Amino acid sequence: MRVAVHVNGRPYERDIEPRMLLVHFLRDELGLTGTHIGCDTSNCGACTVLLDGKAVKSCTLLAVQADGADILTVEGLSQDGRLHPVQEGFWEEHGLQCGFCTPGMMMLAVELLQREPDPSEEAIRHYLEGNLCRCTGYQHIVHAIRYAAQKLRETRESS
Amino acid sequence: MIPMAFEYHRAASVEEAIRLLEQYGPDAKVLAGGHSLTPLMKLRFAQPAHVIDIGRLHELRYIREEGNVIAIGALTLHRTVAESATVRQRIPVLAEAAFRIGDVQVRNMGTIGGSLAHADPAADYPAVVLALEAEIVAQGPAGRRTIRARDFFRGPFTTALQPNELIVEVRVPVPSGKTGSAYQKYPHPASGFAVVGCAAVLTVDAETCRDVRVAFTGVATQPFRDTVVEDALRGQRADEATVRAAAEKAAEGVQPLGDAFASAEYRRHMAKVYARRALLQALTRAT
Ligand SMILES: Cc1cc2nc3c(=O)[nH]c(=O)nc-3n(C[C@H](O)[C@H](O)[C@H](O)COP(=O)(O)OP(=O)(O)OC[C@H]3O[C@@H](n4cnc5c(N)ncnc54)[C@H](O)[C@@H]3O)c2cc1C
Ligand code: FES
Ligand code: FES
């Protein structure tokens, strides 16, 4: 089955089996291994990508369901060699240890900040319900997202 | 984990989906959001030879006010229901339940029709559609028919749908009068599904409980209306003491599920606690 998508702004077309999961399509067909597979059972959120702007768990979607969509993965966050504010937040606030959950955490944070420019700490914690981290205890992740929110608001105000 | 190989069909209309279901019979499965079916296929608990993707039938994504009924298209996402101004204003209990389903990513993909058709005994919507006396509209080769929520759930993962029928719409009557409603859920800490979920709809008239509806999910092998609690409240004074006493009767005459996380006795106890919380919240909202 032919699947055509845009990933991080670039068009891709592949012939695949309908049973191929989106996460395998991204990693194995397109070589975009920034999207991780953690649990493979829809629980951990490591595989989160944005599908037409919405955060989804790519281990729980068939690639054929994404046919025609615009997909954003962690590889698409930085622009012209400059980190995205969410990436910068994780860097500055030490939002990761092993880094396994990080791509999923960042993609969810991007969706959150598109919808809520100034989320409270509590709102961030609620939003992260579907993303598990076994290292940080979440505190630094929450700080990282607060940092990114602030940064994004500043950039918006100055432009 | 990778599903068994299958043939993929993308339905361009409801009629085409029904035609494909007729053609492939028991070998076919409809795919909406895929957030129950795909995990099952990955575990190979489900191995359909034909998958009929209805995810692009945008004509089934809507929330419409039709007088005193809110009509919700089968493919409406949990997130859309949770955030809909219409639903939040007119049937807040439904928005509340939608907001408690899974997590952000699940709510971005899962659909109301998929959740009802799947009929997981611990899913959230079933309790709420029972308490709201909603109707489920199914379409098959012979046209549409309407199934009352209380006739819809037939057992765990079993419904009144025929194999060649699609859910196309859910019709929710807006409660009238001084009515308060609430959904209270005790989520399983790992899966997020309801260990106990209780939906309560309470109509108060002259300080009396004129109408009351209480429904549970998670407690037994299928969602159910708790008529014992309802009977203990109907016609009685609408006050906290009456509600607390009635909630003590929760799940009477029902055999609760027991598992490694929650024994049957524990579920029965929690049913009382969550009935009390849902009813007290509904009472506050009604008065
Ligand atoms: C991590 C995770 C956590 C979850 N937590 C919860 C939770 O807390 N509470 C809860 O209630 N649910 C939960 N769910 C389930 C979720 O709500 C699903 O989205 C929902 O049960 C199924 O909807 P779907 O659109 O994804 O259906 P699908 O998975 O596409 O389909 C499910 C079943 O229904 C059939 N079907 C789908 N649409 C129709 C239709 N219109 N007509 C006839 N048959 C149809 C399919 O053939 C299939 O058998 C969770 C799921 C995941 C992955
Ligand atoms: S790998 Fe997809 S949710 Fe864990
Ligand atoms: S940083 Fe290791 S899992 Fe989150």
Q: pLDDT digits over B34-59, tens only? A: 999 999 999 999 999 999 999 999 99
**Residue A118 belongs to some domain of the structure:** yes
Query: Which residue, by CA, sits nearest to atom 43 of ligand 1?
Result: B166
Look at residues B133, B151, B173 and tell me which one is the last residue of a structural domain: B173
Number of domains, chain A: 2
Confidence band, pLDDT 50/70/90 cuts, at residue B260: very high
**Residue B166 belongs to some domain of the structure:** yes
**Residue A139 belongs to some domain of the structure:** yes
Query: Which residue, by CA, sits nearest to atom 9 of ligand 1?
Result: B101
| B→A interface, C-beta within 8 Å | 1-8, 10, 31, 34-35, 38-39, 41-42, 51, 53, 55, 102-106, 108-109, 190-192
Confidence band, pLDDT 50/70/90 cuts, at residue B68: very high
Q: Which positions in chain A touch B35 (Cβ < 8 Å)?
A: 42, 60
- The answer to whether residue A46 neighbours chain B at the CB level (below 8 Å) is no
Please count the other Cβ atoms lying within 10 Å of the Cβ belonging to residue A155: 10
Answer whether residue B77 shows pLDDT above 90. yes
CATH code (residue B243): 3.30.390.50
**Residue B2 belongs to some domain of the structure:** no
3-state helix, strand, coil in chain A (%, to 5): 45, 15, 40
Look at residues B116, B147, B173 and tell me which one is the last residue of a structural domain: B173
Q: Which positions in chain B touch A19 (Cβ < 8 Å)?
A: 2-6, 41
State the pLDDT at residue A157: 86
Confidence band, pLDDT 50/70/90 cuts, at residue A56: very high
Q: Do A91 and A149 share a domain, yes or no?
A: yes
Residue in A with minimal Cα distance to B36: A60
Identify the domain containing residue A114 by its residue range. Answer: 85-158
State the pLDDT at residue B240: 96
Minimal CA–CA distance to B130: which of B189, B184, B64, B198? B198
Confidence band, pLDDT 50/70/90 cuts, at residue A28: very high
Q: Do A70 and A89 share a domain, yes or no?
A: no
**Residue B162 belongs to some domain of the structure:** yes
What number is the average pLDDT over the span B179-199?
96
Look at residues A18, A51, A74 and tell me which one is the last residue of a structural domain: A74
State the pLDDT at residue A159: 77
Confidence band, pLDDT 50/70/90 cuts, at residue A103: very high
Confidence band, pLDDT 50/70/90 cuts, at residue B168: very high
Identify the domain containing residue B186 by its residue range. Answer: 179-286
Confidence band, pLDDT 50/70/90 cuts, at residue A156: confident
Residue in B with minimal Cα distance to A57: B105
Minimal CA–CA distance to B131: which of B96, B86, B84? B96
Interface probe for B, chosen from A2, A41, A51, A57 (most Cβ of B below 10 Å), is: A57
Q: Do A144 and A98 share a domain, yes or no?
A: yes
State the pLDDT at residue A9: 98
Number of domains, chain B: 3
State the pLDDT at residue B287: 83
State the pLDDT at residue A158: 85
Structure tokens that stand for B75 in this block:
């493919």
State the pLDDT at residue B223: 97
Answer whether residue B249 shows pLDDT above 90. yes
**Residue B1 belongs to some domain of the structure:** no
Answer whether residue B99 shows pLDDT above 90. yes
Ligand number nearest CA of A45 is 2
State the pLDDT at residue B128: 98
State the pLDDT at residue B125: 98
Residues 6+ apart with CB under 8 A from B113: B32, B60, B73, B74, B75, B76, B166, B167, B168, B170
Return the residue matching tokens 């954003």.
Answer: A72
